[in-house]
Amino acid sequence: MRTLVKTLAGTAIAAAAACNGTILLGSGSGAVASAADTDGGASGDTDATSSVASYGGFIGAAPCTIPPPQELDAGDPVEAGAILAPLVGTWTGSYQPPQSSAVALTLVFTQQASGAVTGTLSFGTAAPPAPPTSATEIYPPGFQGGPAINETFPYPGFQYTAVAVSFDAVHLQFGIVQTELWKAWCELQTSFDQSSIGSCGCLPNWPCTGSPMGTGSCYTIAPDSSVMQPFGCALFSPCSLYPSECTCSSAGCTVDLRMPIQNANVALDLQLTSSNQLSGTISLDPSGPNIQLTLSP
């Protein structure tokens, strides 16, 4: 019988898009709030020209009050580490997409001081991207807008966390979350109430106008006042297009890595064919064996 070992598990499935599902291209209409009116607002602050409180730099916005998901019972990580111990080390090889050149893969399992074992998977040979340092700068560098998963996955060099890992000494399964690249960026964002759609997000759920390419001038329009309030265009795509890259709650925004493997964006199914060889498939192309990995000496 297979022994199931669950580690961090998850996906980044956001609820509905911000901007009320409405993207208004062009200059729009209505009064425009100045930067002084909207910049740096906090819950309870009141704009000098308005009796409406502001939050997160937006007049009329409110903080998220939905609590974060409950912690999942992932079992004993030390016991799991003992089962995963034969996999500890660096596995290198390739993924062969159909009708395309092979992509280098690096799978690393590391045993922590506690005895727990964690894993990462990276594509290509590039260095990992630098972490984001600003909530309003485009991330990753060069991102062109649009559905971010399609454009940025797999991001060369990024170390995707192995989630929902199971191993029975022969059969290895785990998942990765495509939007994990955005996790550190999302954690720089403010979590806004989107009660009209029963969720939270990194922009208010109001109509938007501007450029999904992350450049130019972008505004969101408060429905109660018709005031156009500026925001950094770097937030346009990841915070307003569906699905959003960030999952937000009263604890802030992030990319959730705690859900079961069934919800992970990409799943890998591998067999340990010898003490130092893994082969199998990735759900991006499950048509046949297309992954070969060798444990480094």
Q: Is residue 4 part of a domain?
A: no
Q: What is the pLDDT of residue 72?
A: 62
In sequence order, which ranges of the chain are alpha helices (DSSP H)?
35-38, 77-84, 148-152, 183-186, 236-240
* Backbone φ, ψ for residue 263 (5° rounding): -100, -5
User: Which pLDDT does position 214 carry in this prediction?
Assistant: 65
The rounded radius of gyration (Å) of the Cα atoms in the chain is 22
The alpha-helical segments, DSSP class H, found in 132-281 are: 148-152, 183-186, 236-240
Distance CA 75, CA 166 (A): 12
What stretches of 117-264 show up as alpha helix (H) in DSSP?
Answer: 148-152, 183-186, 236-240
Look at residue 5 and tell me if it is in a domain.
no
Number of domains in the chain: 1
Instruction: Give the pLDDT of residue 243.
Output: 67
Residue 279 structural domain = 19-295
Q: What is the pLDDT of residue 84?
A: 93
Residues of the chain with pLDDT under 70: 1-18, 20-52, 71-75, 144-151, 212-215, 241-243, 259-264, 286
Domain presence at residue 169 = yes
109 located within any domain: yes
**Structural tokens at position 39:** 């910049």
Q: Is residue 125 part of a domain?
A: yes
pLDDT at 3: 35
**Total residues belonging to the chain:** 297
State how far the Cα of 144 lies from the Cα of 215, in Å rounded to an integer. 9
- Return the pLDDT at 268: 93
Torsion of CA 256, 251, 40, 54, to 10 degrees: 120
CB 104 within 8 A of CB 92: yes
Residue 9 lies in a domain: no
Taking only the tens place, the pLDDT of each residue in 220-259 is 988 887 888 998 888 888 887 666 788 999 999 999 887 6
pLDDT at 296: 94
Classify residue 141: in a domain, yes or no: yes
